[in-house]
Structure 1
Amino acid sequence: MARKLPYSPGDIFAVPLRDHGYALGVVARANGKGIVLGYFFGPRLESIEEVPKVLAFEVDSAIKICRCGDLGLIREEWPVVGRVESWDPARWTVPDFCRDENIRVVYDGDSLSMSREERVDPREGRLLPQDGLEGAGYVEIKLTRLFGP
C-alpha cells in the first residue's frame, strides 16, 4: 500500500536557507518515489510568518528549477505553506535540462525519469537548467548562494 505523502503537485513550501531566512518552492511534479520537480522563488523571507496569504507565481520568474529528493518535504523541514491558486500542471512544465554544457536531457513528465538525450550547441545548453538529482541539503546550499550574503 502506498503511503500518503505530506505534499502534492501545486503545493508551496518553504526552504530554510543556510544563513537565515527562507526561499519558496513549488512542487511542479512528484513521482511518488522520492523525486520532485521543484521551481524555486525569491525574494528571501526572514520567517515563515512573512509568507503572503495569496501567492501568485510566474513560472518564468523562478530563480532555480531542479529535480530533487523529497527528504526535506517528508521530514517537514521544508514545510508546506500554501498552494498555487488555480493549479494547472500544464503551466508548470518539466523543462529540458543540460549536462556538460552540450547534452540536452529530456525527462518524462510523470515518472521524472530520463526519456532521451541529445547534443546541443553549448550556447543553447547554457540557457537550460543544470541536469542532476539534487539532495535537499544541496538545494538549500545552492539557494543560499543564489541569494548571497
Structure 2
Amino acid sequence: MKRRRPAPDGTVFLVPLRDSGHAIGVLARATGEGHAFGYFFGPRVSKASDVNMERLIPENALLVGKFGDLEILRKNWPIIGALKDWVPSNWPMLPMARIDEAAGRAWLAIYDDSFNCIKETEIDIDAASRYPYDRMMGAGAVEVRLTNLIRSAEES
C-alpha cells in the first residue's frame, strides 16, 4: 500500500537540532513510500521567519542524501514554505558512494528520480569521499549529523 507523499518537491522544512534551534531542509524527491532525498542547510535558525530562502541553493548544502520522510509527515519537521520557481533538474539526485572498508573498495551509484539504481561503477576509495554516502538516513541520524556540522561551522 502506497503512503502519501510528505510534501511536494521543493518544499522547505525545519529539522530540529539536538542542542538548540533548527537546520533547514529542502525536499528534492520523495517516493510516497517513505524514501526521500534532500538538501540540508545551516546556519542554525530559531524560527521559520529566520530562514533566508534566497540562500537555499544546492551549492550551499551542508548535507545531501536519502532520508526517511516520516518526521515530515508527523509534522515534527515542520514545513515552512516552498522554493519559488522550483526546477527539479537544479536539485538533482546526486551520485552517491558506497565504501567497503574491509575490502578497500568503493562504488558510485546513480539513481533515477524513483530511487532505482540505474548504474553502479567501482571507483577509487579516496574518490568516494567527494560524494554523499549511499545510505538511507533515519531522522535521528539527520538531526545528529546536522547538529555536528552546524556546531563545527559555528566554531570555525
Same fold (TM over 0.5): yes
Which residue in the other structure is 1:24 paired with?
24
Compare the two structures and name the one with the higher helix fraction.
Answer: 2
* CA–CA distance in structure 2, aligned partners of residues 76 and 6 of structure 1: 9
* CA–CA distance in structure 2, aligned partners of residues 6 and 97 of structure 1: 23
* CA–CA distance in structure 2, aligned partners of residues 3 and 70 of structure 1: 11
Structure 2, unaligned stretches of length 5 or more? Answer: 100-104
What do you get for the CA RMSD once the two structures are aligned? 1.8
Q: Residue type matched to 1:125 in 2?
A: A
Q: Deviations over 1:75-111 (max 9, x none)?
A: 00011101111100010001000011621011112x1
Moved over 3 A (4+): 1-6
Which residue in the other structure is 2:58 paired with?
59
Query: Does the CA-based 8 Å contact 1:55-1:85 persist in structure 2?
Result: no
Which residue in the other structure is 2:134 paired with?
131
* CA–CA distance in structure 2, aligned partners of residues 126 and 2 of structure 1: 34
- Secondary structure at the aligned position of 1:148 is classed as helix
Tell me which of 119, 124, 139 is aligned to 1:121: 124
Which residue in the other structure is 1:50 paired with?
50
2:80 is the counterpart of 1:81: yes
Deviation at 1:112, TM superposition (A): 1.2
Between the two proteins, what is the percent identity of the paired residues?
A: 37
Structure 1, unaligned stretches of length 5 or more? Answer: none
Q: Deviations over 1:108-134 (max 9, x none)?
A: 12x113223210122321100111001
Deviation at 1:46, TM superposition (A): 2.1
- Secondary structure at the aligned position of 1:130 is classed as coil
